Structure 1
Amino acid sequence: MAENETRDSPLSLPEELPPQPVEQVTSINGNDDNDQSMADAHNPKEDSDSDSDSDTESDSDDEAQLNLQIQTLEAELSNNPSNYDAHVQYIRALRKQGDVEKLRQAREAMSALFPLSPELWREWARDETTLSSGPEALPAIEQLCERGVLDYLSVDLWCDYINFVQDYDPLVRECSTNGISKARNLFERAVIAAGLHVAEGSRIYEAYREFEQAIALTIGETDIESREKQVQLIRNLFFRQLSVPLANLRSTLLTYKTWEAEQGSTLGVDPNSLDGLPSNVASAYQKALDLLNARTHFEEQIARKDIPDDERLQKFMTYLNFEQSMGDPARVQILYERAITDFPIYADLWLDYTRYLDKTIKTSSTVKAVYSRATRNCPWVGELWVRYLLHLERVHASEEELSTVFEKSLQCTFSSYDEYLDLFLTRVDGLRRRISSTSKTEDCLNYDLIRDVFKRASDYLSPHLKNTDSLLRMYSYWARLESKLGKDIVAARGVWENLLKISGSMLGAWEGYIAVEVAEGHINEARSLYKRCYTKKFSGTGSEDICHSWLCFEREHGSLEDFDIAVQKVTPRLEELQLFKTQQETKSAGSSDQRETMKKTPREKRKLHSDLTEDQSPAKRRKNMSQNLKMTNEKDRVEAAESVEKSKVEVISTKPESASKRETNDQSPRKPKHYNDQCTAFVSNIGVQARYEDLRAFFSDVGGVVAIRILTDKFTGKSRGLAYVDFSDDAHLAAALAKNKKNLLGKKVSIARSDPQHSKKKGTFGPKSTSKHGVGDNQSANAGQSDSKDSASRPKEHSGSQAQVNSQKSRDERVELKGKNTFAVPRAVRPLGWSSEKPGGTEGDGDEKPKSNDEFRKMFLKK
């Protein structure tokens, strides 16, 4: 057999290994004589003794350092077996040390966890070939090569495998019938695996042709039939290669013409000429050449090593899109294999590859092998494991195989707990389908397997998925299967109860449980669940929703007594929730107002205060300041309080962004600052939760409502339980007064006509009260006019002093204290110059002549 010039040298230690001490190299080679000769070569007799000692000391230091490195790597791998780089470094260190057994164990350990790169497989096979290449070692090395070509696509590894069989298998080397059959089978496998590799596939064909040409040389000249048969076989190999778009296609055509010339044909040696070629060969070659030219640009792009990996991967994806558009699944698959060889841990690439195979490739063994490799390269991607399980179910894999893959998946680390949940549910789905199928199921399949998967999922995921829809979905599925497939309603209820212990604050958990009981017709059980959960606090509007759901349930399924009980229990709960909601809204509104106030500049605050105080006259402001000190009559105090409250509403209404404006749209955009209250009802004992809409609805049967003003606390913004309702006319007001003591939101409200003139008639604080509701201070104005007239009729010489006296008298005469509480009235002491007797016998008319100092002295001496 002719020697294959294109293959590598026999498997041996690679030249790229770092220099090793002589004893390390020979120990792995197992050749003591060579060890001695190489040692002599490195230690000639003419070297001095000092040089020998120095070399020995240096070797000892290197060996100690290597041992320390190995111990460190062993500790690292013991703590973290999934450290890929540590595995690679450990294997390198053991190769340098020459410990064959530990090296084999290290490689097997790494191979059990990770797919090895083609370089690592080639290195392993070469080491084993160097250690032992006898017939007894042949099956073990072939097995290594088989494992290597399954991990990644590598033309180099296929060539090493083929060369090893040709060189070391006696049957192949002797060209026996079995040996030739074995070699041809191996070549055909290599062609299928890598024959469409555009850049390197031609190497497989060339090795195949050289093997067949070597066989042709062993056929005798007399065996013409065998020689013709072999020549035709070689011609077919040329034809197959010329039909595939591979690199060096023109060179292959030239080789074919040369070979045909050796067989006696005259085809010429011009690689660009197709003259003389059989029509089928010329047509196939031209088509392959066109396909190659269309791919040359893509091949140049993915072959670049000077660009980042991400950019190069994008070039692969562009190339893949092109191949998929051409519609040849075999070429697409080869290109995917080339891409994952260069980018083995890119999960998206594996996902695309497996998705394409699921749609196009019908060979189950091929797709299953790809899924197995995908989950070994990217074990942290839960979707790959899920799709792997689904594929195994599609191809009717055994329960043992499915269980093995499932258990492997649970040993991986995923980025989210939802990925674990998806795995558990996928496993349950498969078991359910196989148990429920009408065909005969396996003897080992029963519902206990499903229950076990659910229990494991609950134990692992419940602490992490508490109060989530994902956990609710799993438990709902579990309870449904317990009831339908397991035929155990008690167990189904136990599943729901377990969920309530974990996620009892989820409205969906209670609703799901109740829905199942209602669907099964268990009305009493569903009612008991409502009674357990209607007082619970759920997020959002869940608390109100469950109350309304209970009422709806009783309407549809319960008796009148059941409905009344539900209403009796639900109504206080709804009122409580509404009150809490109102408080939260008020608090939120108050916080918003406070933030707006804090944003105002000091100048704006001063301006706002000035605007509020400028609306009142100086005399009115003085009366406001002394109001609380002069009040004596209880009834007057109540009326004054009413006026003050209405005044607060007016002030609040003038403030920008007030709480009342945000809570209702019933008020006009620009409210007046004062109200005459000519046709207004004063409403008290209103519930604090009442809103403008509630009052408007309360008076809807009356009609004629013009405006509604609810009194609020100026500090907290909360309702004071008081309101003014303006009506369009007296008729509507009278109808509204007829609703006195009617219920509004559960409270009997008091309704009376607002009469701001009543306080003025009493004479206490009438001007004060009415002015706050928009009525002018008539008495004050009249008094001022009277004083002006008096001043005009008096002599000019007394005008200055008389004005002071009149001002004092005006203030004193306005104050008229009535009622029983007159303890504050000064009875014995009078202001200096005051006399109860008035000239003319009329109070309040004229002025008393001022007394001199002598007159005062005589007056006191007489007393």
Structure 2
Amino acid sequence: MATMEEEVPDAAAAAPAPAGGGGDDAEMPDAAAAPSDSDTDSSDSDDEGAASADDLRIQTLERALQEQPLDYETHVQYIQCLRKSGNIEKLRAAREEMNKYYPLTPKMWQEWAKDEISLSTSEDSFGDIEKLYERGVQEYLSIKLWRDYLDFVEEHDQSVSQCTPSGLSKMRDLFERAITAGGLHVTEGSKLWAAYREYEMAILITIPDGNDEDKEKQVQRIRSLFHRQLSVPLADMESTLAEYKSWEAEQGNANDPGDNFDGVPSNIISAYKKANDIYNERKQYENQISNAGLSEADKLQEFLKYIKFEESSGDPARVQVLYERAVSELPVSSDLWMGYTSYLDRTLKVPSVLRNVYYRATRNCTWVGELWTHYLLSLERIHASEEELQHVFERAVQCSFPTIQEYLNVYLTRVHSLRRRISDGLDFQLIRQTFMDAAEFLSPQLGTKELLRLYTYWAKLERGLGKDLPAARGVWENAIKKSGSVLEVWEQYILMEMEMGHIHEARSLYKRCYSKRFAGYGSEEICHAWIRFEEENGTLDDYDIAIKKVTPRLKELMMFKSQEEAKVEAQSIPNDNSNANDSSQKRKPSKMTNKQQPPAKKRKENPPKSTKSSDDQVSNVQSEQSGAVNVVQVGEASKEKVEASMEMKVDGESRTGNTSSNEPKPSFYNDKCTVFVSNIDLNANEEDLRRFFTDIGGVKAIRLLKDKFTKKSRGLAYVDFSDNKHLEAAIKKNKQKLLGKKVSIARSDPSKSKKSREGGPLSKGQDNLHQSGGDGAKAPGSSQPDNEAPKGDLKITGKTTHFAPRAVAKPLGWTKQNEKPDGGAGELKSNEEFRNLFLKK
């Protein structure tokens, strides 16, 4: 079967060429002139095999498209296979199906139109092919596609070919549209101008000699086209000027060929020189973007530079054409489409142009949520109908965005638009339904901050615009069903009731939630918030009732936390007593004595200095009742120590993934591909950090460090990457801005941190005595040789060394042979023995 790419050859051309002359050929001319039966059978079998392979390939692609209808490359391959097989019906359907999801390239539109032209057998098919060209020129700017479109209409439209008044008008309108779309294309625009002039020159020839008036009008029309083109900055303007002078000479207007401007009107000379200067200013940019060796990323940067320069010139038409050239070469660059649409919103503000560009932008970059939100806002600015806005919104929420935040932004943009237009007679039910859809779709994936924003806004509009207080309460009740363990949900619900002056309803909410368990210190916070509420709004009886309910709850929370502290304290004590004096096992800031003591005794000797414990919180509540209730202090360890132990345990478990061991967990990361980010804006969250590293990719996990009590960011974070290539790229972003602050990025090296804790010198010039392991013994894990003092060790010189610590000073005459094998410090002397030793000295 013949392919769609070429005409079916005739019988003579299809026949094999005869073999060359020779004796055998002379004897059997018939055999030489025609293929043998065996050759024919072999050829047929080859054709059948190829056809079956093509059919199998087509069936495979059809199944793939049924499973993944949005796979762009599969669509392209499917169309190519169908075009090769010549199955025109399936080919049409395949092209329509692909164009339903994606714009087709100019080359694909050209192929489609040529295929239909080769198969057209009647005049009725002209209109369908014309519509194909119309669809094609609307999607991307292509000078070649415009030329094909113009040639097709000029050749196949009878009204045009017969030069009827309607045909002339239609063709001229089409040329003007082509000039508007691509006549400012610096390198290829002259092709459209030349085609326009050639058409008008052909019309001039058809005018009879006796009709001087019509001839003069046509001559003037051609002259006007020359003048218009000479005032446009295009490549090869000199040849256009020479062609113009030659044409004027043919019309009897003599001029000097050696003088470029002889016979040219002065105003045209001025416009030509200005256009030539404009072209020379842009020539360097044109050379850059036409460089065939550029990668897509480099070409994008060159286009952006060119566009920035063009915008500074202040000609919107040239800027628009340049944007069209850029997006036709880089159709999936979201940066280009964002810049293009934003420019049109600022400058042109033409509804038809805005609709067309936004429609194409969202078809090329469906995954960019910001494009969809801008699309909705632009439609609202040009006063689009509610039906159009609803249609675009429904298309947006069906896309696949990379983050849940983008879905939330689309939903909220829709709600904002409905709220602003509620005075136009819109039903509030539209707003309510949008919120309901958003809550159902987004709630399982939204973070606490975004969830609160959604529900707070919803409840506000229900009681404000909707005038429906029960519905507003229903919003919060629904939020409690889904996120009742989140303290902020209850707080916002109570705040709404307080803003409306509903004290009784707010009190009822406190009674419902004070006994719930919230994260961190949320349970204590809600109890104290209830007390403050009754102090400021309730009667004395209300206050006493709150105290009566809150006090046992605080005791319960205190006892629970004390039990947890005791467990953590027990886990933080090493089981092996032989290592009790091993200083490498101690935490640096610890103030604990060498000998383990009962927790209660340690609590008495080491009271917490700065952090208010749960006992103090209960005592404050009880003091307000003038000692009405005695508070029993329960606890086995100071809060300061327990918190340090808990932090070490939690950090170790979360970073090593081991939760079953009773050994103390390390408080550092042992990752091999992690960066440490500091000086982060306190308002930044994990998603902000993820977006910050989006351009390099490879992010596996983000751990934002937060305060234990306030749960607020500390401005520090660890970011894990998939490999060293992405990690090195992340380090290069050091000192770049995140939310307005320059962040510091460095590689996280757990081995160095561990070494500094176990064997490194102490800060502030202090001697790291525990590094030596006592009496000069080499510290465990130390890399120092036996005969070399570790870096940072304190060296004692002179004779008066008997007052120095044993780990530093050595007796006079001490040699390496006298070193005890176990590295111990020897038996401790009593005060009396030490006094006698001193007197002997």
TM-score bucket of the superposed structures, by smaller chain: 0.5 to 0.7
1:567 corresponds to which letter in structure 2? I
Residue 69 (str. 1) matches residue 14 (str. 2):
no
2:182/2:192 contact within 8 Å kept: yes
Question: Which is bigger in relative contact order (C-alpha 8 A, separation at least 6)?
Answer: 1
CA spacing shift, 1:275–1:431, aligned 2, 3 Å: same
Per the alignment, residue 801 of structure 1 pairs with none
1:337 corresponds to which letter in structure 2? E
Pairing of 1:471-620 with structure 2 (within 5 A) = 471-578=451-558, 602=582
Per the alignment, residue 40 of structure 2 pairs with 52
Query: Displacement of 1:577 after TM fit?
Result: 4.1
Query: Displacement of 1:241 after TM fit?
Result: 0.9
Per the alignment, residue 332 of structure 1 pairs with 319
Residue 160 (str. 1) matches residue 148 (str. 2):
yes
Residue 430 (str. 1) matches residue 417 (str. 2):
yes
Query: Displacement of 1:688 after TM fit?
Result: 10
Q: 1:386 aligns with which of 369, 373, 376?
A: 373
Query: Displacement of 1:39 after TM fit?
Result: 3.8
Query: Displacement of 1:603 after TM fit?
Result: 7.9
Counterpart CA distance in 1 for 2:264 and 2:580 is 96
Counterpart CA distance in 1 for 2:358 and 2:431 is 25
Per the alignment, residue 183 of structure 2 pairs with 195
1:579/1:689 contact within 8 Å kept: no
Query: Displacement of 1:646 after TM fit?
Result: 12
Q: 1:234 aligns with which of 222, 236, 241?
A: 222
Secondary structure of the residue aligned to 1:135 is coil
1:504/1:510 contact within 8 Å kept: yes
1:98 corresponds to which letter in structure 2? G
Q: 1:244 aligns with which of 229, 232, 250?
A: 232
CA spacing shift, 1:601–1:132, aligned 2, 3 Å: farther
Residue 107 (str. 1) matches residue 109 (str. 2):
no
Pairing of 1:129-168 with structure 2 (within 5 A) = 129-132=117-120, 134-168=122-156
Per the alignment, residue 346 of structure 1 pairs with 333
Per the alignment, residue 308 of structure 1 pairs with 295
Q: Deviations over 1:560-592 (max 9, x none)?
A: 211221222223334444555566667767877
Per the alignment, residue 732 of structure 1 pairs with none
1:157 corresponds to which letter in structure 2? L
CA spacing shift, 1:458–1:144, aligned 2, 3 Å: same
Q: 2:435 aligns with which of 454, 459, 478?
A: 454
Q: 1:261 aligns with which of 242, 246, 249?
A: 249
TM-score of the two chains, using structure 2 as the length reference: 0.67
Counterpart CA distance in 2 for 1:52 and 1:158 is 45
CA spacing shift, 1:660–1:144, aligned 2, 3 Å: farther
CA spacing shift, 1:690–1:192, aligned 2, 3 Å: closer
Pairing of 1:674-713 with structure 2 (within 5 A) = 689=615
Provide the aligned C-alpha RMSD in A: 3.7
Gaps of 5+ in 1: 1-22, 616-643, 653-657, 667-686, 698-709, 720-863
Q: Deviations over 1:215-269 (max 9, x none)?
A: 1112222222222222221111111111111111111111111111212223333
Residue 463 (str. 1) matches residue 427 (str. 2):
no
Query: Displacement of 1:352 after TM fit?
Result: 1.5
Query: Displacement of 1:313 after TM fit?
Result: 1.1
CA spacing shift, 1:152–1:582, aligned 2, 3 Å: same
TM-score of the two chains, using structure 1 as the length reference: 0.65
Per the alignment, residue 355 of structure 2 pairs with 368
CA spacing shift, 1:184–1:538, aligned 2, 3 Å: same
Counterpart CA distance in 2 for 1:148 and 1:570 is 73
Aligned residues: 611
Secondary structure of the residue aligned to 1:536 is coil
Per the alignment, residue 24 of structure 1 pairs with 2
Query: Displacement of 1:542 after TM fit?
Result: 2.5
CA spacing shift, 1:143–1:648, aligned 2, 3 Å: closer
Pairing of 1:91-106 with structure 2 (within 5 A) = 91-106=79-94
Residue identity (%): 49
1:27/1:98 contact within 8 Å kept: no
Q: Which has the larger radius of gyration?
A: 1
1:121 corresponds to which letter in structure 2? W
CA spacing shift, 1:450–1:599, aligned 2, 3 Å: farther
1:659/1:717 contact within 8 Å kept: no
CA spacing shift, 1:266–1:565, aligned 2, 3 Å: same
Counterpart CA distance in 2 for 1:472 and 1:233 is 67
Counterpart CA distance in 1 for 2:470 and 2:594 is 77
CA spacing shift, 1:308–1:599, aligned 2, 3 Å: farther
Counterpart CA distance in 2 for 1:597 and 1:193 is 86
Residue 299 (str. 1) matches residue 262 (str. 2):
no
Counterpart CA distance in 2 for 1:711 and 1:388 is 61
Gaps of 5+ in 2: 19-31, 624-633, 644-841
Counterpart CA distance in 2 for 1:481 and 1:605 is 59
Counterpart CA distance in 1 for 2:101 and 2:600 is 79
Pairing of 1:220-231 with structure 2 (within 5 A) = 220-231=208-219
Query: Displacement of 1:463 after TM fit?
Result: 2.1
CA spacing shift, 1:665–1:190, aligned 2, 3 Å: closer
Counterpart CA distance in 1 for 2:50 and 2:121 is 31
2:411/2:438 contact within 8 Å kept: yes
Secondary structure of the residue aligned to 2:2 is helix
2:234/2:279 contact within 8 Å kept: yes
1:529 corresponds to which letter in structure 2? L
1:452 corresponds to which letter in structure 2? Q
- The range that moved more, 217-226 or 372-381, is 217-226
Query: Displacement of 1:531 after TM fit?
Result: 0.6
- The range that moved more, 554-563 or 253-262, is 554-563
Query: Displacement of 1:599 after TM fit?
Result: 9.3
1:409 corresponds to which letter in structure 2? A
Pairing of 1:262-301 with structure 2 (within 5 A) = 262-270=250-258, 273-301=260-288
CA spacing shift, 1:283–1:598, aligned 2, 3 Å: farther
2:245/2:263 contact within 8 Å kept: no
2:253/2:263 contact within 8 Å kept: no
Q: 2:404 aligns with which of 411, 417, 426?
A: 417
1:586/1:717 contact within 8 Å kept: no
Counterpart CA distance in 2 for 1:197 and 1:149 is 15
- The range that moved more, 560-569 or 99-108, is 560-569
CA spacing shift, 1:613–1:249, aligned 2, 3 Å: closer
- The range that moved more, 482-491 or 64-73, is 482-491
Residue 204 (str. 1) matches residue 192 (str. 2):
yes
2:230/2:271 contact within 8 Å kept: yes
Per the alignment, residue 177 of structure 1 pairs with 165
1:645/1:711 contact within 8 Å kept: no
Per the alignment, residue 219 of structure 1 pairs with 207
1:243/1:288 contact within 8 Å kept: yes
Query: Displacement of 1:479 after TM fit?
Result: 2.0
Q: Deviations over 1:769-811 (max 9, x none)?
A: xxxxxxxxxxxxxxxxxxxxxxxxxxxxxxxxxxxxxxxxxxx
Secondary structure of the residue aligned to 1:198 is coil
Query: Displacement of 1:126 after TM fit?
Result: 0.5
1:119 corresponds to which letter in structure 2? K
2:498 corresponds to which letter in structure 1? V
1:198/1:245 contact within 8 Å kept: yes
Q: Deviations over 1:521-572 (max 9, x none)?
A: 2221111001111122223333233223222322332222112212222233
1:346 corresponds to which letter in structure 2? S
2:365 corresponds to which letter in structure 1? C
1:646/1:711 contact within 8 Å kept: no
Secondary structure of the residue aligned to 1:268 is coil
Query: Displacement of 1:342 after TM fit?
Result: 0.9
Per the alignment, residue 664 of structure 1 pairs with 609
